[in-house]
Amino acid sequence: MKKFGLLVAGGIAAIILLSTIGPMIGLLLSLVILYFIFKQFLKSESTGAKIGLGILGFIVLVASIHNAPAIIGVGAAYVLYLVYKKWNENKQTKMKKDSNDPFANFEKQWNDLKHY
């Protein structure tokens, strides 16, 4: 039953993540552009350039605020990570419980050798 809950939570998080890929890319691009505008704003010495870059920066800032649903996508990616981590944790604890089995140690050592 626990696996089913993890599967449902992971599925919902994956759907949300896939549906917010566009806003996430848009937010990333607009924040990168905003960063470079800010750097140029600090370097410029003329008042006209500062005013122009300030207006351009404001427009890009509004565009990045428009992509705010991307934050939900980041949260969904984090939930998906937690589900993945919990799913693998269940496998690890199951292997530890079977430590009385004489073949469990052999399986563990075999898996360690295969990963190298």
Cα(24)–Cα(60) distance, integer angstroms: 15
Read off the amino acid at residue 100: N
- Residue 67 is classified by DSSP as T
Asked whether residue 107 is domain-assigned, the answer is: no
Q: How many domains does the chain have?
A: 1
Mean pLDDT of 99-112: 70
Does a structural domain hold residue 79? yes
Beta-carbon contacts of residue 62 (< 8 Å; ≥ 6 apart):
none
Residue 15 lies inside a defined structural domain of this protein = no
- Euclidean distance between CA atoms 20 and 25, whole angstroms: 9
| Token duo for residue 79 | 């939930």
Residues 56-93 pLDDT 10s: 999 999 988 888 889 899 999 999 999 988 888 766 66
Of the two residues 24 and 92, the one the predictor is more confident about is: 24
Task: List the domain range (segments joined by +) for residue 46.
Answer: 24-93
Q: Is the residue at 33 inside a domain?
A: yes
**Model confidence pLDDT, tens digit, residues 38-56:** 999 999 999 999 999 999 9
